[in-house]
Amino acid sequence: MLESLIHENTLYSEPIAHIGSFIVTNSLMTSALALLIILVLVFLIRRNLKQVPSGLQNALEIIIDASLETFDGITGSRKKSLQFAPVIFALFFFILINNWMGLLPGVGSIGQVIRTGGKDFFIPYFRGGTADLNTTLALATMGVVLSHILGVVVIGWWKYFNRFINIQAFLDIPKKIRKDPMVILVNPIKAFVSLIEVIGELAKVASLSFRLFGNVFAGEVLLASMSAILAWGVPIPFIFLELLVGFIQALIFAMLVLTYLTISTTVEEN
């Protein structure tokens, strides 16, 4: 019976239940569990906060202070770093926990058997949330869209709109042509370059989502392959490697979103 079961590392998450018309997938279950873990940790840490830090609180404050100094190198301002920190920390820890949860015993190996087309398919109840492209695409879209929202709030909708569809460049031609005749050539080029920015924004979403998904999914396949060769001993070095990869990918994702937020909220000099 066990030998006839089919279990594949699919590029998509697999449905395990339905709530009305809503499909519950195994990656969604892992993401929900990761969110619950974060909420519990936040509650426990917040409940035990003291005016004079000690122990774990002292260590966390050192880490946060060091992180803010790193943020300052990107934002160029402690004020901006403090404004963006809640979003960046939330993204980092959510992605990190999702990455690491895919390595826990039982994740990918505990599930149910579904018979389809005369064949038995094994569907795990849990799967690394970031090993599903839907999750990484949603996170990337959220980060990029948030950068645009903050850009509009900080810079103003007209100036921010002209970063991508530079109507102002054409409106400035009659005003500047007497002083600078070359504006009739330069400004249309500026308008064309701004259109390329639209493509760049789409590329940001694709880059963020596929980088995170590709690394986590590749690690999932690698561990499954190593476990198939020999379940004991061989996968251990690769598990430690995936712990490191999971941390690095969460850090890269968070830092890139911070960079996008900084660029979007920076006023360009004309």
pLDDT tens profile 6-52: 556 666 777 887 788 888 888 888 899 999 999 998 888 888 777 77
Residue range 153-161: average pLDDT? 88
The pLDDT of residue 7: 57
Question: Does the pLDDT at position 233 exceed 60?
Answer: no
The pLDDT of residue 198: 85
Question: Which range is most confident: 7-21, 103-117, 255-269?
Answer: 255-269
**pTM for the complete prediction?**
0.85
The pLDDT of residue 108: 64
pLDDT tens profile 51-72: 777 777 788 888 899 999 999 9
CB atoms within 10 A of CB 59: 11
